Amino acid sequence: MKKLLLSLSLLSFITKVSAQANQGHDIHVNFKNCKDTVMYLAYYQFDKSYLADTCKKVVKGNVVFKGKNSLDKGVYYLVSQDKAKYFDFFISDKNQKITINTDNENLVKNLKSPTSKENDDFFKYINFITDKNKEYGEIKSKTAGMTSKDSAAFMMEKGKILNETVVAFENNFLAEHKGTFVGDVINLKMEKEAKDIPKASNGRPDSLYVYTYYKNHFWDGVNFEDDGIMRTPFFADRLKKYFNNVIIQHPDTVSAEIDRLMSKTKSGTMMQKLLIAHFLFTSESSKLMGFDKVFVHVIDKYIRTGMAKEVYDEKTIEKIKERGDILKPLLLGSQAPDLLMIDTIGHKQIAKMGFDTVKTSQGATKLYYDNVQNLAQTFTTLYGVKSDYLLLVFWDVDCGHCKTEIPKLLEEYHALKKEGYDLKVFSVYTQHDYEKWKKYIIDNKLDWMNLYDGVHVNNIKEKYDIYSTPVIYVLDKNKRIKAKRIGTEQVKDMIKQMEKEYKAVKK
């Protein structure tokens, strides 16, 4: 089975604006000097944007979005007929009759809302930040002609003063708007950094204290029960930053952090649904080895328990569970599933039994039970191989990438053997063209264990999640999986790391 790669697009059936038959929405924008004849109202939701409403007839800058249903709480923005974004504003549960005035001559400077104090305050906030960004640009322009050293010192001094001004303004704004939606959104974008940092033993600021404070206070003031929070331009980026840059990149740590955030959500909310979908997708698509453990954890904790029944349909949920069933026995540290394989010599015996011509799984099953006693002596089993280090390799003669990697792996195998490593290779051909396989072995002098599933009893593609080739697993002497899906160039480093682990245990 191939990877599911369940992106948030699967949630399209739940991303529409809720049809709440209550106060309705009535939004007027008086947009002077605007030449658009059509405008759109869009909103943020996690890391995407969606259309909420359309004003099909804009007359002299008079834009109206009106409907019987209330819009979902969140940050919305006005979009031109050319799909250009004009400005953000807030829609809350309490007030959906909003008037906004502006002028295209100086869009941000002229933004005002006589009917929504929350939006009017937000526009003042935007004006302040815009002015400070302009001021920063003017300061930077003064460095022209300076040496790089003088320029850096000048910008550090002036930038520090400017930054302190902005931080003070934002802190005051946040204090004045505590408990409001605009306050919650501004809080979401602000960094929570430590003050009065103690000194470490070396006399420098304690970096561990700084990190711990930052991590522990990263989500201060964020209400995960409020769906409006994820309908902002900041939530998705902040979530990604936390999981990619703040916490330790270890599957157990990531799983624990997922559970911690999920425990803050409310059952049935859009926040909960989107987080389940996000964590499922990111854990499955992670490029970090071993992070399929996070994927399996999310499946066990949030899919099998029924929490995702409103996120995916029943058919998709079953596929997700099946994917989890495949990966669970293959997690790092797990004992690799045994394999009953046939080598080139054993092929002659099973061919006489009829396995090379059998057409159906039923036929193969019958042949197996008819010859089970003789087959026991023909099998080469994975668990029967004794070595400190074992490479389990799945490949195909006709695979272009295999034709490049298998010779490299053979060379690496010989080099490691020469260095004295007790290393063996359990090389599994994933197809059944015996003559082609045998010719390749001879032509390329593959002097390791060459095997294939000649009796059709292993279901190797599902048992070892083989949806492409080549695939390399590294097993220890107890057949526990130490690495998987690694490149040939990583094999040597992995073996040396295992050697260090062996020596550490002996001590």
Q: Are 339 and 460 in contact (CB under 8 A)?
A: yes
Cα separation of 114 and 374, whole Å?
Answer: 89
- pLDDT computed for residue 160 by the predictor: 86
- pLDDT tens-place string over residues 306-353: 999 989 999 999 999 999 999 999 999 999 999 999 999 988 888 888
For residue 182, give both structure tokens: 């605009």
pLDDT band at 363 (very low <50, low <70, confident <90, very high): confident
- pLDDT tens-place string over residues 485-504: 999 999 999 999 999 988 88
Q: Tell which residue, 131, 128, 129, 65, has the closest CA to residue 100.
A: 65
pLDDT band at 4 (very low <50, low <70, confident <90, very high): low
**Helical segments of 305-399, H only:** 314-327, 346-353, 361-370, 372-378
SS3 content of the chain, % helix, strand, coil (to 5): 45, 20, 35
Q: Are 40 and 54 in contact (CB under 8 A)?
A: yes
Domains of the chain, each with CATH number or no CATH: 8-114 (2.60.40), 165-246 (no CATH), 340-506 (3.40.30.10)
- pLDDT tens-place string over residues 62-94: 999 999 999 999 999 999 999 999 999 999 988
Angle at 31 between CA 28 and CA 35, to 5 degrees: 125
Cα separation of 160 and 327, whole Å?
Answer: 50
Q: Are 93 and 20 in contact (CB under 8 A)?
A: no
Q: Tell which residue, 323, 301, 302, has the closest CA to residue 311.
A: 302
Cα separation of 240 and 245, whole Å?
Answer: 8
- To the nearest 10°, report the CA torsion of 441, 446, 448, 450: -20
- pLDDT tens-place string over residues 424-448: 999 999 999 999 999 999 999 999 9
pLDDT band at 222 (very low <50, low <70, confident <90, very high): very high
Cα separation of 165 and 177, whole Å?
Answer: 18
- The b-or-e profile of 406-428 (16+ CB within 10 A means b, else e) is beebbebbeebeeeebebbbbbb
- pLDDT computed for residue 44 by the predictor: 96
**Helical segments of 220-355, H only:** 235-241, 251-262, 270-285, 292-298, 314-327, 346-353
Q: Is 504 exposed, middle or buried (CB count within 10 Å of its CB: 0-12, 13-18, 19+)?
A: exposed
Portion of the chain with pLDDT greater than 70, in percent: 95
Pairing between strand 389-395 and 471-475? antiparallel
- pLDDT computed for residue 420 by the predictor: 94
20 phi/psi in degrees, rounded to 5: -95, 115
Average confidence score pLDDT of the chain: 91
